[in-house]
Structure 1
Amino acid sequence: MTAGREAARVERAPLEELWRRYGRYRPRLVLAVVLSVVNKIADVVPELLIGAAVDVVVRGEGSFVAEVLGVESRFAQLGWLAAINAGVWVVESASQYFAAVTWRGLAQSVEHDLRVEAYDHAQRLDVHWHEARPQGATLATVNDDVNQLERFLDIGAPALLQTALNIVLVGAVFAVASWELLLLAFLPIPLIVFGSLWFQRRLEPLYAAVRERVSELSALIGANLGGITTIKAFTAEDRERDRVEAASAAYREANVAAIASSAAFVPLVRLAILVGFTCTLLFGGWATLNGELEVGLYSVLVFMTQRLLWPLTEIAEMLDLYQRGRASTARILALLDEPIDVPAGTVALPTPVTGRLELSGVRAGYADGPDVLHGIDLVVPAGQTHAIVGPTGAGKSSLLRLMLRFDDPRAGEVRLDGRDLRELEWESLRGSIGYVSQDVFLFAGTIAENIAYGRPGASRDEIRRAAQQAAADGFVEALPLGYDTWVGERGVTLSGGQRQRLALARALLRDPAVLILDEATSAVDNETEAAIQVSLQTATRDRTAIVVAHRLSTVRHAHRIWVLDAGRIVESGTHDELVSAGGAYAALWNVQTGALVVRADRDV
């Protein structure tokens, strides 16, 4: 089935799709339904016992209880009814407890599995998918939408089942007592059912709008909290508060519209209940006065009418939970149906991986845009350090994304040890690569935990050795708790240079065959840069290294330097060769070393 058809099916029946996906929970669902049936039967029996008690008081020795049990004394008959009622209450209480535990446990299990499945799928989606979607929107789906579904499974589904059971059981009592009263008492139910269906169709787009508004609000708040320093630097607090206020107001208005429609249903249900109750009261009373209906049975039917119709006042709340759960489920399943455009291969590289990288005739671009890389041919022999330089927008980051296989080329091949990257398993490909990005991300945890993220289970000595190679050991040891120092979310308690050195240590700890550094020393001072360069000469001696840099002083000792401009390789060679050639690299070098002064009005 194609992705489009799959999405259409999910849109038509999200809860049915959920039933199909989680078939392993069907036995627990059946148990929950059985317990609910037992509970509802036990819940209806006391009304029957009340009618039997009235019958005992009115008819005495000729009562229904006397005929069934063969007991003549009215006191004994009432005693038997009291004992039966006590047993029924025990069954009702026990079944209610076990039904609640089963339903809620089922809801929690489905919520847990769905959240984990949604998160796992989201993190496996392509990098460009995440770049094109606000993080807050994904967070709202994985967290808030799953919670909405859990509320429906925990509260709404059992309530709907209890209402349906109530109609069936009470209808059976009416059918035994009087077909005429059955028709009169059930007269409002078709109105309520058709009204429910009408409201359901009306509520569906309203609650879809609610989910969209909460997604937008979550995305905005998440983005703002992530960029709090920028907001403060530009004194934009009031401006951003107004944006959040507007988004929150839109969410509120969407909710108000949905609530206004769902709340309007309750008064209509009450009017329908009034009709049914009045019919039972009048026609049943007249039948009793005419001797056509026993007094005890009349009492039962009056109670039963209330039991039948009054729970229907809660149908608006049930529909509210249903529509919220349905809208949330549709969004969750839509996320799960997002295709992975860059799937893992199936081939594992022979070990040890040498690290030879080759790009042949590579063209690449983003989405439906034009090519940003044009016919790239590039070879990095195993064990050598190669640099990629060029002006902003030349395509350096796009080239690295291909090497990491965050994207696939539109044409040509990228090979590692002679195998096309599209053939390789993720562990074989990315497990062979250590990557340090320009935008360093550290997790909330200790410094040791962040370095060990590159190789879980690494010893403290191995962690320290990697930190020494990255010139990070000095500042870490100077901290009061050393490697046990807690790092705030995204490493906000550290400077940019410290974060970069920890990220470099994390990559080196992995002991990769290929080390990719994207501006890995851009945030460090000259002294630290020199220390890292000395360490890297040792760290890269037996491995392939790809270095992207704007500061050409960091790559002057590379075996080969590739110069990109407008997505094309315009020259390559050693530092000395390129400077002597007087081309694009030489121009960049002259600017950075001061040999060429660039002015706003002219070049000198």
Structure 2
Amino acid sequence: MSSHATANSFHALKRLLRYARGYRRRIIAATVCSIINKLFDIAPEILIGVAIDVVVNQERSFVARAGFESAQEQIFVLAVLTFFIWAGESIFEYLYQILWRNLAQRLQADMRQDTYEHAQRLDMAFFESRSSGQLVATMNDDVNQLERFLDGGANALIQVGVTVVAVGAVFFVISPLIALLAFTPIPLIIWGAFFFQRKAGPLYADVREKVGDLASRLSNNLAGIATIKSFTSETREADRLREVSEAYVTANRRAIRVSSAFIPVIRMAILAGFLATFTVGGMMALRGDLNVGAYGVLVFLTQRLLWPLTGLAEVIDLFERAMASTRRILDLLAVPITVRDNHDRSLAKPVRGEVSFEAVSFRYVSSGVGVDGISLHVPAGHTLALVGATGSGKSTLIKLLLRFYDPSAGNVCIDGQPIGEVSLRSLRQSIGLVSQDVYLFEGSVRDNIAYGRPEASDAEVVEAARTAEAWEFIQALPEGLGTAVGERGVRLSGGQRQRLSLARALLKDPPILVLDEATSAVDNETEAAIQRSLRKIGHGRTVIMIAHRLSTIVHADEIVVIEAGQVAERGTHHSLLAADGRYAAQWRVQTGAVEEPPVLT
């Protein structure tokens, strides 16, 4: 399992590098600045050894061979070199920080945007199988985790490698024997780093999963706060949140326990290397086999070589967290788009609104329910009503019309054009949807009515509100059209939200209007208002209605009863009552009388 975790981490890194191909120049520039900065950072230790050599050997020193005879000149030259080295180190530290941090910001912003845009193109089955909390955790927390690694961990990883190579080169030039002794602990350190990385990999993957669970629980509870309060379930929900939160803490504790053990083990390996250099080098200097200045360089560089390796613990910690997050992000980006968009072809204008379902079949993978071989035809400007028990397939037909899903067999056509052959934009711009579960976005009343046409004038917004019989209550609001509706429209009543939803669809002015249980959750007054609105807007527009309240569909040109995914009955209100079948039985249940009421006109 450990080797598998290691392979997963490096596979995730390869996938990340493939994704970041467009940032290659920035990555190279940042890497070069990190390398140069580290080379400048190592140089002062070498200069200290050279300075010791000047003080001890003076005219016979290493610097004297470069033409600077007096010790004073040599010290002055070293001072100048020190100034330029420190200045160079500072300049390139500034540059690599700017480059890495800007790269981290740019990459995380682009990755979050790409992930969100990809998720928008996925079919509804994906969202019905994933919690919104998990998706938010991936797009936000996981992306931020990757940013934190790029912000500091990537540079640290590069500089550790540069330190080992550069210092190792100096060691082997001065004394191969001491180099061998100093480098003896490094294989142990590297092995330890990968050992702990393999151990930490699956643990941090579990941490990321627990983050998603926690975000999902918080999101669900805050969205359902009214239900929690009404059932006085605050204590129970707090306990459930505490349980998920403790699972996150426990997962983190396991990962921290493994990563924290790394530094003490590595410290002892470093001590062995330092003592070897200090002791063997000192003996060689006493015997005259090693220049005193060179001995000073080796002692200082040993510390410079080995101590930064303790930072591998933190770097690996960041790396594992980042790779666990990267896998989740790239896995989301890799989810295939099943409803393909045909950008090159649009519905022929003007769209008349003729709708046909031609032997359409579809089944949900999760439940197996759906529709089977349904054929329906709605002439342009006519009203079709769909009735039937919950789960019979009514809403499935609407989802197929909007191409939230594609049928497994048959075709859905508008004006004779199969909708799978036209762009999703032209299709969905031709359909206005008013559903039972109204979703209002946080913003003003005007923003929500004009959601489908942000460029609409105030006069057009007001006219749509009047037609939907929403203008009266909008005028009574504290700031009229400018009144904030709150998250999901929480500051408005259910009936008010439904009327705003209808106004939003009307302002879009679609040739096809779909009402999915639009009046099932409203009071009688709101239902009557919506019915009056529908009588106004139904002329010259194709209307497809789903309703449980049969009183709202008596005026439909055709009523179709759906049962177990198939057409059970069809006809007008009068003909279906005369047939005395399922529709008539349901009518008697809802009205309590056999007599039929007058048809709404």
TM-score by length of 1: 0.95
2:525 is paired with a residue of what secondary structure?
helix
1:22 is paired with a residue of what secondary structure?
helix
Give distance in 2, aligned partners of 1:506 and 1:77.
82
For 1:105-504, list aligned pairs within 5 A: 105-346=102-343, 347-367=345-365, 369-504=367-502
Contact residue 442 and residue 499 of structure 1 kept, 8 A: yes
Alpha-carbon distance, 1:590 to partner? 1.7
- CA gap 1:209/1:286 in 2 versus in 1, 3 angstroms: same
Alpha-carbon distance, 1:243 to partner? 1.2
Contact residue 9 and residue 201 of structure 2 kept, 8 A: no
Give distance in 2, aligned partners of 1:395 and 1:449.
33
Kindly provide the amino acid, as one letter, of the partner of residue 350 in structure 1.
A
1:98 matched to which residue of 2? Answer: 95
Alpha-carbon distance, 1:232 to partner? 1.3
1:339 is paired with a residue of what secondary structure?
coil
Alpha-carbon distance, 1:596 to partner? 6.6
Contact residue 381 and residue 541 of structure 2 kept, 8 A: yes
2:541 matched to which residue of 1? Answer: 543
1:550 is paired with a residue of what secondary structure?
coil
Contact residue 469 and residue 532 of structure 1 kept, 8 A: no
Contact residue 217 and residue 248 of structure 1 kept, 8 A: yes
Alpha-carbon distance, 1:568 to partner? 2.0
Counterpart check, 1:17 vs 2:15 = yes
Alpha-carbon distance, 1:12 to partner? 6.3
2:82 matched to which residue of 1? Answer: 85
2:556 is paired with a residue of what secondary structure?
coil
1:439 is paired with a residue of what secondary structure?
coil
Contact residue 213 and residue 244 of structure 2 kept, 8 A: yes
1:53 matched to which residue of 2? Answer: 51
Alpha-carbon distance, 1:369 to partner? 4.0
Give distance in 2, aligned partners of 1:558 and 1:10.
59
- CA gap 1:587/1:467 in 2 versus in 1, 3 angstroms: same
Give distance in 1, aligned partners of 2:594 and 2:205.
60
Counterpart check, 1:509 vs 2:507 = yes
Alpha-carbon distance, 1:387 to partner? 1.0
- Write the deviation string for residues 233-254 of structure 1: whole angstroms up to 9, x where unpaired: 1111111111111111111111
Contact residue 363 and residue 371 of structure 1 kept, 8 A: no
Give distance in 2, aligned partners of 1:491 and 1:554.
25
- Write the deviation string for residues 297-349 of structure 1: whole angstroms up to 9, x where unpaired: 11111000000000111111111111111111111111111112222235311
Give distance in 2, aligned partners of 1:210 and 1:24.
30
- CA RMSD across the alignment: 1.6
Alpha-carbon distance, 1:10 to partner? 7.8
Contact residue 145 and residue 328 of structure 1 kept, 8 A: yes
Contact residue 210 and residue 251 of structure 2 kept, 8 A: yes
Alpha-carbon distance, 1:386 to partner? 1.3
Kindly provide the amino acid, as one letter, of the partner of residue 127 in structure 1.
M
Kindly provide the amino acid, as one letter, of the partner of residue 253 in structure 1.
T
Give distance in 2, aligned partners of 1:523 and 1:287.
91
Alpha-carbon distance, 1:521 to partner? 2.1
Counterpart check, 1:583 vs 2:558 = no
Contact residue 185 and residue 277 of structure 1 kept, 8 A: yes
101-110 or 385-394, which deviates more: 385-394
Contact residue 361 and residue 374 of structure 2 kept, 8 A: yes
Kindly provide the amino acid, as one letter, of the partner of residue 110 in structure 1.
L
Give distance in 2, aligned partners of 1:273 and 1:211.
33
2:377 is paired with a residue of what secondary structure?
strand
Give distance in 2, aligned partners of 1:478 and 1:576.
41
Alpha-carbon distance, 1:294 to partner? 1.1
- CA gap 1:134/1:199 in 2 versus in 1, 3 angstroms: same
Q: Structure 1: which 4+ aligned runs deviate by more than 6 Å?
A: 9-12
Contact residue 430 and residue 512 of structure 2 kept, 8 A: yes
TM-score by length of 2: 0.95
1:563 matched to which residue of 2? Answer: 561
1:522 matched to which residue of 2? Answer: 520
> Structure 1, unaligned stretches of length 5 or more?
1-8, 598-604
Kindly provide the amino acid, as one letter, of the partner of residue 420 in structure 1.
P
1:3 matched to which residue of 2? Answer: none
Alpha-carbon distance, 1:515 to partner? 0.4
1:386 is paired with a residue of what secondary structure?
strand
Percent identity for Structure 1 against Structure 2:
53
2:599 matched to which residue of 1? Answer: none
Kindly provide the amino acid, as one letter, of the partner of residue 339 in structure 2.
V
Give distance in 1, aligned partners of 2:558 and 2:359.
19
Contact residue 431 and residue 511 of structure 2 kept, 8 A: yes
Contact residue 10 and residue 17 of structure 1 kept, 8 A: no
Contact residue 356 and residue 380 of structure 1 kept, 8 A: yes
Contact residue 360 and residue 412 of structure 1 kept, 8 A: yes
Give distance in 1, aligned partners of 2:47 and 2:116.
53
Alpha-carbon distance, 1:175 to partner? 1.4
Contact residue 518 and residue 548 of structure 1 kept, 8 A: yes
